[in-house]
Amino acid sequence: MSRMFNPKVFQLGYVGLGCTDLGRSAQYYMETLGLTETAKGHLGEIYASVGYEHHNVILTKAAHKSLLQLGFQLKPAIDLADFAKQLNAYGVRSAVKSDSQPGISKLIEVEIADGHTVQFYRDIEAPAPGFKNVGVAPLRLGHVAVISPQAAKLRKFYEEFLGFWYTDEFEGIATFLTCNRDHHVINIVDIPESRVHHIAFQLKDSVSHPNACDELRRAGIKTEWGPSRHTAGHNLAGYHYDPDKVLIELYTEMDVFIPELGMCEARPWHEHFPMKPRAWKLTELNAWGTDFAFNLGQG
Ligand SMILES: [Fe+2]
């Protein structure tokens, strides 16, 4: 019987990146990836939407490339004040911020581990700027993979406090967790470094993969790995770098997790039936056997 927590959040809403050259990053995220700028903040930071919500990416000028924040949207039934009390009871310090960013009137900020700041909010404006007809133009922000020397602490918070489900791992080094039907919403990598490993956007369909690669090529961006099929999550995934060498994943066909059954919906390409959470070997990153260097340990 799988543990039946009830996650307090239901999606990764946004990722905040510190960018060394804001103009260059804005050009990549708006023109090549195909997001739409919705606002500029007090500090000149840029808010960008995939197509519906006020923002899914925040770009802030910084001395070094960095992951500044992750935004998770709380389930509508959760009251922000109650959530803050629960954090306090769990022993985590939080700060309530009002009007700290456009589109979100109130959020709760927590530094779960060094360099891992998470913002929780219930409501975000949805100006629906629309999906671009140019650039990669993904469907949505799907997940993030973070590398942390405090991976165990992060995992405990996500599983124990937020109620994420464990869905897979690679030899205890990379752990996949979800708060919805996607196989993973966060992937926590246990290596003594602190950085974002990759940010993943879902494409419209699998035919969009070559189109995205062509779009990247037109912008002079090389596709580093894939598109090819993973094992854990079974997503068809291609990877390239943003201007600060933050790895960006474009994916489709991710496994659909059924928390009630503790398994993923069966697919013809699965290696195991039922497809339950398991410990994969690091040599099993790729289902097709295509070469898949995954630059763990390279900043
Ligand atoms: Fe990924």
**How far, in Å, from the CA of 81 to the mean position of ligand 1?**
33
**How far, in Å, from the CA of 200 to the mean position of ligand 1?**
6
Q: What is the pLDDT of residues 186-226, one digit of tens each?
A: 999 999 999 999 999 999 999 999 999 999 999 999 999 98
**How far, in Å, from the CA of 191 to the mean position of ligand 1?**
17
Please tell me whether residues 106 and 201 are part of one structural domain: no
Q: Which residue has the tokens 């919906």?
A: 265
Residues of 146-177 as b/e, b for ≥16 C-beta within 10 angstroms?
A: bbbebbeebbebbbebbbbbbbbbbeeebbbb
Please tell me whether residues 157 and 191 are part of one structural domain: yes
Confidence of residue 296 (pLDDT cuts 50, 70, 90): low
**How far, in Å, from the CA of 85 to the mean position of ligand 1?**
32
Host domain of residue 232: 140-284
The pTM for the full model equals 0.96
Alpha-carbon dihedral sign for residues 78, 80, 86, 92: positive
Please tell me whether residues 176 and 109 are part of one structural domain: no
With a pLDDT cut of 70, the percent of the chain lying above it is 96
Please tell me whether residues 227 and 95 are part of one structural domain: no
Q: What is the pLDDT of residues 138-163, one digit of tens each?
A: 999 999 999 999 999 999 999 999 99
**How far, in Å, from the CA of 172 to the mean position of ligand 1?**
16
Contact at 8 Å (CB) between 287 and 231?
Answer: yes
Please tell me whether residues 199 and 105 are part of one structural domain: no
The whole-number pLDDT of residue 299 equals: 47
Please tell me whether residues 257 and 191 are part of one structural domain: yes
Residue 107, in any domain of the structure:
yes
**For the chain, what is the mean pLDDT?**
95
CATH assignment at residue 33: 3.10.180.10
